[in-house]
Structure 1
Amino acid sequence: MSESGGSWDGLIARARGRLPSMVERFLSKVMAEPAYAASSLTAEDLRQRSVQTFTAMLDALRTDGDTTALTSLAESLGTLRARQAIPLDSLVRVIRLDFTVLWDTLSDPSLDADPALLVRHAGRVWSTVDTFVTQVQEHYLTERSAIQLANADLQRHYLSQLFAPVRPTEAVLDRIAGALRVPRSGNFCVAATAKDDGMAVQRRIRSSTRRGDVVFTYDMGHHTLFIWPTAEVALGKLPPGISALFDGMAAAVAPVARGLANVREAAAAAREIMTDLPMDSSGITTLLERWKTVARHQLCLTGCDLGQLVFPYLHMCTELEREKILKTVTTYLETGSLGDTSRALDCHRNTVLNRLNAFQKYTGLDVQRPHDAAAVILALP
């Protein structure tokens, strides 16, 4: 064969006659891609798109090739696959199979192609497929951004109803659950971060490749809330995919909300825990870790400072005695054991008892009684 455009165009024409076999070969490769095999895409959909793609590519590869159809197809394919939630990396891998199928067909000995002609046009074949991949990817990302923006607006709308000043009615809760596609009676985790950190978490959510994780975001001024369904009934360790969202920052996690209606209270708890954290805090903090300071702060806000049950009365003893008594009481409340307290303070068990009795004499509070111990725990800094 000569090197003329006709030789190349003749090869393209002969390859068009192999279109059905090209499509079937492509489909057999596609179904080996896990994301496609597990998707709801039908064989008819894939076959139709394959016919369109290979036809447009062969048209573009002619000497006077026209890429209009291929460009239009890239937009529709990228947009459609984004709406179908096909992962982008899977989509790109599948489209790149077009080159393998095209090249195998063009170089098939039965088409009688001049090897030198194939070598000279190899770059053009690859460039055509690569440009198509790039265009599909651009339209996919544009559509995904639009979908995410629309979903975020919808989520904000319904979450604002959940956190409205007036508690939502049963009918409104049903509507919110339906719109967010969550079970109204399910369990939910709620975390709060500082607003600046919340922006970083949202970026991590958008870039996450994990599928199946549903995390709702809601801006509450100084704090950003993150809400997600959970199978847990009591808060333990966060799942790795969720925990990683808060790496390198402070986050407060409330007790599990049992039912959508209780997410309001969980959100209030998460914000209160977050407000209670020191400025240089980092890591995930739960109510179990901060309940003492949270409760102390809330009591003080109402004028119920439990420290007033302790410190004014301890001023009746000497400073040294007061220091020893408070150290003993604090250690005993941490251990709950006279023996452990005596060992921790390196003193006799009777000395521990004498100091606890002295504390009771001055304040009237017996820390060996759970009721009094709880008050003293909240009283001591």
Structure 2
Amino acid sequence: MPPSVLSAIASRCHFDLANATAEYTRAVRQLPGYSLAAIAEEELHRTAYDSLDLMMRLLAGEDVAEQLGARSDSIGRRRAQQGIALDSLARAVRMDFRFLWGVLRDEAHADEVVPLAEEVATIWDVVELHTSRVQTAYIAELSEVNRELERERGSLLRRLVAGEANDPAQLEHIAAMFGFPLDGRFRVAVANPRFSRQFRQALGRLRARPDMQAFDGVELAILDDAALSSHDRELLQQAPAGISPAVEGLGRVAVAWSIARRLAELVDTPDAAATLGSHWQHLVDEGLGPAAVAFRDERLAQLRALPAGRRALLLEGVHAYMRTGSIAETAERLFVHRNTVLKRLNAFTVLTGLDPSVPNDAATIRLLLGGIE
């Protein structure tokens, strides 16, 4: 920078920036995000002093552009790590101009005031150079952090659905990372690859707004069952995906994943899901294994919650009816009125969603009742 009134004034005052730094630090603390930020007062003061000092030395004609650039980069990355919003950071950095100008103006002799004012653009250019470097470094650091976060999320998802996250501490970390309740109920929706676009569209309409992930080359979403509205559940039935039954606890998501993935292979239209309720017969020949347990747990959860005596009466009525197919004959065998039989069958349907008088439901009931007494 050629010798000028500005450089002459800057060379006289860059050693005495203590007061300006203290005022700057107090002003920055008033900005949104800075008042509660985890930035130690000493760090904030040192950063402010170093920045003002380097800019003043640059204005004085010293060759410190590289040092200022390094300081700018350091500030941008550090504030990104500390969670300061970019707009608040930019406002804080641009405040440097006000304090630099104040120090220069106070130092200027009477005959230097007008020439100094004519060089105000130079001061602003230095501050903008600093601001630009800070913002660029901030964005670079944030992008790097986000990439690392996505890598970590992908790794954790892989461990969860592969059944490798069995340690309680790992499950707590996964719950925190994805915002899941640790002891909640979960479903997994897995896209049929032929209908990936329709799958994303269908899940995008859910009020629950689940995050869509990818694992082993297929798209999936882990759904917090409690967050699904009745409207969401209807929309899920129209998604071209395998939808698992609800499982208890984050640790059982791997079971739900394996079921949903197999069901996804059975999806043959872009507007209908495959569930155990609709497609269990396709899986019988393969041996249902954990799928049967999960489906039984889901459908019979409310029935199991009944007092043992009440549950036994309902099951007795269902078993008797399914052996005869006749309300009258069932009532005769159980020595009760036919209305009592009807009430028990209706109560069973309300609790399980399965009607013993419907042939398809009756087949499903026979499959399930072997797992409950």
Partner of 2:236: none
Q: Using the alignment, how far apart are the partners of 2:243 and 2:118 within structure 1?
A: 62
Q: Using the alignment, how far apart are the partners of 1:298 and 1:250 within structure 2?
A: 17
Partner of 1:116: 114
Partner of 2:9: 11
**1:166-194 deviations in whole A, cap 9, x for unaligned?**
x4474x34335347745883447666668
Q: Using the alignment, how far apart are the partners of 1:53 and 1:257 within structure 2?
A: 56
The structure 2 residue matched to 1:31, chosen from 24, 29, 32, is: 29
CA shift, 1:374, in A, is: 8.0
Unaligned runs of 5+ in 1: 205-214, 239-248, 282-288, 305-359
Q: Does 1:224 align with 2:222?
A: no
Q: Using the alignment, how far apart are the partners of 2:130 and 2:153 within structure 1?
A: 34
Of 5-14 and 107-116, deviating more is: 107-116
CA shift, 1:48, in A, is: 0.8
CA shift, 1:6, in A, is: 4.9
Alpha-carbon RMSD: 4.6
Unaligned runs of 5+ in 2: 205-209, 232-238, 287-324, 327-341, 350-354, 365-373
Cα 1:5–1:251 shift into 2, 3 Å: farther
The structure 2 residue matched to 1:136, chosen from 110, 134, 137, is: 134
Secondary structure of the corresponding residue to residue 33 of structure 1:
coil
Superposed counterparts of 1:285-364, under 5 Å: 295-302=277-284
Amino acid at match of 2:228: L
Task: Say whether the 8 Å CA contact 1:254–1:270 is kept in structure 2.
Answer: yes
Partner of 2:253: 263
Secondary structure of the corresponding residue to residue 11 of structure 1:
helix
Compute the TM-score of the two structures, normalised by the length of structure 2.
0.58
Amino acid at match of 1:375: N
Q: Does 1:107 align with 2:105?
A: yes
Cα 1:14–1:153 shift into 2, 3 Å: same
Cα 1:144–1:169 shift into 2, 3 Å: closer
Cα 1:296–1:176 shift into 2, 3 Å: closer
Partner of 1:235: 228
Q: Does 1:155 align with 2:145?
A: no
CA shift, 1:299, in A, is: 2.6
Cα 1:279–1:89 shift into 2, 3 Å: farther
CA shift, 1:130, in A, is: 1.3
Amino acid at match of 1:100: R
Q: Using the alignment, how far apart are the partners of 1:21 and 1:110 within structure 2?
A: 17
Partner of 1:75: 73
**1:123-168 deviations in whole A, cap 9, x for unaligned?**
221111111122122222222222222232233333322222xx44
Q: Using the alignment, how far apart are the partners of 2:68 and 2:139 within structure 1?
A: 18
CA shift, 1:12, in A, is: 1.0
Q: Using the alignment, how far apart are the partners of 2:216 and 2:184 within structure 1?
A: 25
CA shift, 1:62, in A, is: 1.9
Q: Using the alignment, how far apart are the partners of 1:111 and 1:274 within structure 2?
A: 80
**1:342-370 deviations in whole A, cap 9, x for unaligned?**
xxxxxxxxxxxxxxxxxx99xxxx99883
**1:311-359 deviations in whole A, cap 9, x for unaligned?**
xxxxxxxxxxxxxxxxxxxxxxxxxxxxxxxxxxxxxxxxxxxxxxxxx
Identity percentage over the alignment? 20
Secondary structure of the corresponding residue to residue 56 of structure 1:
helix
Compute the TM-score of the two structures, normalised by the length of structure 1.
0.57
Partner of 1:49: 47
Q: Using the alignment, how far apart are the partners of 1:32 and 1:63 within structure 2?
A: 33
Cα 1:179–1:267 shift into 2, 3 Å: closer
Q: Using the alignment, how far apart are the partners of 1:227 and 1:112 within structure 2?
A: 71
CA shift, 1:23, in A, is: 1.1
Task: Say whether the 8 Å CA contact 2:76–2:137 is kept in structure 1.
Answer: yes
Q: Using the alignment, how far apart are the partners of 2:182 and 2:136 within structure 1?
A: 40
Amino acid at match of 2:278: R
Task: Say whether the 8 Å CA contact 1:296–1:378 is kept in structure 2.
Answer: no
Cα 1:44–1:186 shift into 2, 3 Å: farther
**1:229-284 deviations in whole A, cap 9, x for unaligned?**
x7x8453399xxxxxxxxxx999987876532133345457667877888666xxx
